[in-house]
Amino acid sequence: MAYCVKCGVELAGSEEKCPLCQTTVYHPDLINTKTKNEKKTYPPFEINPEESVSRSGIMFILSLVFTLPVVLSLLCNYELNGVISWSGYVVGALTVGYVIVVLPLWFKNPNPVIFVSADFVAVALYLFLINVITGGKWFLGFALPVTVVAMIITVTVIALVHYVKRGLLYIFGGAAIANGFYSVIIELHLNNTFGLQKTFTWSLYPLTAFFLVGMGLIIIAICKPIRESLHRKFFI
């Protein structure tokens, strides 16, 4: 009497492969006395290969999901108002969503650095569209520099994590400190663009918090005993 070494199913003497998991039968003490007429424990069966999903079909459906609301909003806007006005917000938002969600799926191995940069470019163009529609003057003085700085910080962190793949504590520590100064940049451009005030107020709080967190991560990265202690206590 023999059993499958992988799943434990009882095997007949004529079995060459396990009928359940297809593992080759092996028994060190088994003498090859199999007979062709001996009945097998299970009837032979074939495993049908899984049907492959059409990638282009999925992309077509997703593109259609984003395209239909665009067309409907444009038609409704023109039918109700006689001009294209509010539908611009809908088209812009759906375009940004498509770039962020669907566009990377067209590629088997999308490069995160390239596509995250494309996401920020799409967001910047959408903000510019809103600025044009509303007749505002805040894009160049506020939206563009804030978006560009956010893109630089985010893409730098992603590039370091993607290509360097080590020193993560240094990377995230530096990113935390950069985010602290980013809050100061936001308040600076808010004050200059909209004439709110001439001093920094609320941005000093996130600056202090992010700076302490970033320095803490860098200190942990430098001090090996602290890293080992945290690893033993928290399994990180």
Q: What are the backbone angles phi and psi of residue 25, rounded to the nearest 5°? A: -70, 130
Give the C-alpha separation, 159 to 112, whole Å.
Answer: 8
Give the C-alpha separation, 136 to 128, whole Å.
Answer: 9
pLDDT-based confidence at 34, cuts 50/70/90?
A: very low
Tell whether the model's pLDDT for residue 49 goes beyond 80.
Answer: no
Q: Two tokens at 112?
A: 């995160």
Tell whether the model's pLDDT for residue 36 goes beyond 80.
Answer: no
Over residues 169-226, the pLDDT tens digits come to 999 999 999 999 999 999 999 999 988 888 889 999 999 999 999 999 999 999 988 8
Within a domain: residue 32? Answer: yes
Four-point Cα dihedral 15, 16, 17, 23, nearest 10:
130
Within a domain: residue 211? Answer: yes
Q: What is the overall mean pLDDT for the chain?
A: 85
Give the C-alpha separation, 89 to 92, whole Å.
Answer: 5
Range of the domain at 21: 1-48
Q: Two tokens at 52?
A: 């492959």
Within a domain: residue 64? Answer: no
Give the C-alpha separation, 122 to 98, whole Å.
Answer: 10
Within a domain: residue 191? Answer: yes
Within a domain: residue 158? Answer: no
pLDDT-based confidence at 35, cuts 50/70/90?
A: very low
Question: With a threshold of 0.85, does the pTM exceed it?
Answer: no
Give the C-alpha separation, 17 to 192, whole Å.
Answer: 77
| High-pLDDT (> 90) share of the chain, % | 54
Q: Two tokens at 73?
A: 């909003």
What is the number of structural domains in the chain? 2
Burial (Cβ within 10 Å: 0-12, 13-18, ≥19) of residue 68: exposed
Cβ atoms of 105 and 61 closer than 8 Å: no
